[in-house]
């Protein structure tokens, strides 16, 4: 069975500092990994995905994530946080080796960037 863990409910970071939002996953096969962000009163917005190839994936708004197969992790990072990055972040996984197109989501991490 697939599962996703986001070990931190809340991450606080000062504006201008680097940020990391952690995600670890478990799948029986090989993963497709995704990050989504939810701003207040908005739907989930796609940030980036890892399908294959380079382990470092770059996405929207300056975010990037690194796929680490040995640690089964896909942490989201940004070199310099903005106050506008404050939102709820969800990591999601799909097992590419098993048919089934629904995501398995993590519980979400609330990011607060302090001015």
Partner 1 sequence: EAGVTQFPSHSVIEKGQTVTLRCDPISGHDNLYWYRRVMGKEIKFLLHFVKESKQDESGMPNNRFLAERTGGTYSTLKVQPAELEDSGVYFCASSRGPGSSYEQYFGPGTRLTVT
Q: Which residues sit at the interface with partner 1, rule CB under 8 A?
A: 4, 32, 34, 36, 41-46, 49, 51, 90, 94-96, 100-108
SS3 61: helix
Nearest to 69 by CA among 50, 84, 82: 50
- Least distance in angstroms from the C-beta of 70 to partner 1: 22
Least Å distance, CB 111 to partner 1, is 15
Contact between 85 and 59 (Cβ < 8 Å) = no
Nearer to partner 1 (CB atom), residue 53 or residue 115: 53
Smallest gap from residue 20 Cβ to partner 1 (A): 20
Q: Which of 80, 78, 76 is nearest to 22 (CA)?
A: 76
């Amino acid at each position: 069975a697939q599962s996703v863990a986001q070990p931190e409910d809340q991450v606080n970071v000062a504006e201008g500092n680097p940020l990391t939002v952690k995600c670890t996953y478990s799948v029986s096969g090989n993963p497709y990994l995704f990050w989504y962000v939810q701003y207040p009163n908005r739907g989930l917005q796609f940030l980036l995905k890892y399908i294959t190839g380079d382990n470092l994936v770059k996405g929207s708004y300056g975010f990037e994530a690194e796929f680490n197969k040995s640690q089964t992790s896909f942490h989201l990072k940004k070199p310099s946080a903005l106050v506008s990055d404050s939102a709820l972040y969800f990591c999601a996984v799909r097992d590419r080796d098993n048919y089934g197109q629904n995501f398995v989501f993590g519980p979400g991490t609330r990011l607060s960037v302090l001015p």
